[in-house]
Every structure is written in structure tokens, then in C-alpha cells.
């Protein structure tokens, strides 16, 4: 049996990782295409958390509008 060189082992490992990551990227793309993200608006829990955080940092302040950036 022939000894395998270090460069050959590294090349095989690189190709194996590249193939595996390409496969996983394709699966992720397929999953996000089949199940797209739906915009549901802002939950009441998010509004309460933001209002509480603002009132803790700046007493007496009111939250008028919350926008996602």
C-alpha cells in the first residue's frame, strides 16, 4: 500500500468539506424557498418589552411608534 502524501490528504479533505457545505447550502435554499418567512407584525410582548426598557432608561418617556429596521 502506498503512503498518501500530506497534500493529497489536504486536497481530499478540502473537496469533501466543499461538497458537504454545498449540499447543506442547497438544502437551506430549498427549505427557505418552500417555507418563506411571513411578516406577522409586532407582538404585544415585544411592545411591552420595548416600553419597559425605554421607561427604565428614560423615566417618564412614552413609546409612540416601533419600527423594525
Highest-pLDDT range among 22-26, 45-49, 52-56: 22-26
Domain that holds residue 2: 1-37
pTM of the model: 0.53
Lookup result for grid cell 407584525:
41
Rg (CA), the chain: 25
Q: Are 43 and 66 in contact (CB under 8 A)?
A: no
User: What's the average model confidence in pLDDT over 34-48?
Assistant: 85
Residues 30 and 50 reside in one and the same domain? no
Residues 29 and 48 reside in one and the same domain? no
Please give the pLDDT value at position 67.
Answer: 81
Looking at the 3D structure of the chain, how many domains does it have?
A: 2
User: What's the average model confidence in pLDDT over 5-12?
Assistant: 94
Residues 7 and 25 reside in one and the same domain? yes
**Percentage of the chain exceeding pLDDT 90:** 61
Rounded CA gap, 52 and 56, in Å? 6
- H-type alpha helices, 1-69: 6-34, 44-57
Residues 30 and 60 reside in one and the same domain? no
Q: Are 41 and 68 in contact (CB under 8 A)?
A: no
Amino acid at each position: 500500500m502506498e503512503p498518501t502524501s500530506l497534500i493529497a490528504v489536504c486536497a481530499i479533505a478540502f473537496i469533501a468539506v466543499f461538497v458537504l457545505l454545498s449540499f447543506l447550502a442547497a438544502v437551506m435554499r430549498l427549505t427557505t424557498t418552500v417555507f418563506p418567512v411571513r411578516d406577522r407584525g409586532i407582538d404585544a410582548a415585544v411592545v411591552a418589552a420595548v416600553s419597559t426598557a425605554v421607561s427604565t432608561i428614560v423615566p417618564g418617556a412614552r413609546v409612540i411608534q416601533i419600527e423594525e429596521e
